[in-house]
A and B are shown apart, each in its own frame.
Chain A
Amino acid sequence: EVQLVESGGGLVQPGRSLRLSCAASGFTFDDYAMHWVRQAPGKGLEWVSGIRWNSGSIQYADSVKGRFTISRDNAKNSLFLQMNSLRVEDTAVYYCAKDRLATSGLFDSWGQGTLVTVSS
């Protein structure tokens, strides 16, 4: 059974940094692309960033480009999101999502999410 468990969320002041982690199990992690998706309170889903199985291709939404960095450690079956220069509008539940394939861009498993609150 695929399991994705996010951690690292919390309350942080504007301008500060936070690092999210996603621990994956139940599948061969390095066979699949992985993504971060967020959901602001009362809003819809927003794709944040994606990384291919071998980290050879990385993409970001315009809203986080230059501030967020996605990475993965295939030896530890882990996905990360380094969030710098956080803004109030980054407040959201952040979900880790597994791609259906190495590069398809369609997601077929989700974690339970971790809440990031950016506030002074």
Chain B
Amino acid sequence: QLVLTQSPSASASLGASVNLTCTLSSGHSSYAIAWHQQEPEKAPRYLMKVNSDGSHIKGDGIPDRFSGSSSGAERYLTISSLQSEDEAEYYCQTWDTGMGVFGGGTKLTVL
């Protein structure tokens, strides 16, 4: 069964960069994932799809500060020039054998 693993929390300073990681369980390193952002008390928002080769496709209106990459079973979301509005929960998501799968989410704090 596919599992997506995310660190529960991350923090970085205003104006800095941060990498969030989503790890696919063994045997699933070829899977693409989607990253979603959820600000407090709001609905999730799609950020991008990240493929196993590191290419990514961003959603409409997603700033250039957001990018994606891959290495093996890991999928990354990089946010540069952090802004206060980037403080949110970030979820990775994929699909396997007829079921949607979410990671547990990473709560990003902007210091």
Contacts and interface: CB of A to CB of B under 8 A. Distances in A.
Given A44-B91, A45-B93, A108 B34 contact: yes
Contact of A45 (B45, B46, B105): B105
How many chain B residues sit at the interface, stated as a range, is 20 to 34
Q: By CB atoms of chain A within 10 A, which of B34, B101, B105 has the most? A: B34
B43 A47 contact: no
Q: Which secondary structure dominates where chain B touches chain A?
A: strand
Contact of B100 (A37, A108, A113): A37
A74 B108 CA distance: 38
A61 B99 contact: yes
Given A111-B43, A112-B43, A105 B94 contact: yes
A112 B41 CA distance: 10
B104 interface: yes
A95 B33 CA distance: 19
Interface in B34-71: 34, 36, 38, 43-46, 49, 59
A113 B32 CA distance: 26
A48 to B, nearest CB: 8
A5 to B, nearest CB: 11
Interface of B: 32-34, 36, 38, 43-46, 49, 59, 89, 91, 93-96, 98-105
Interface of A: 35, 37, 44-47, 50, 57, 59, 61, 95, 100, 104-113
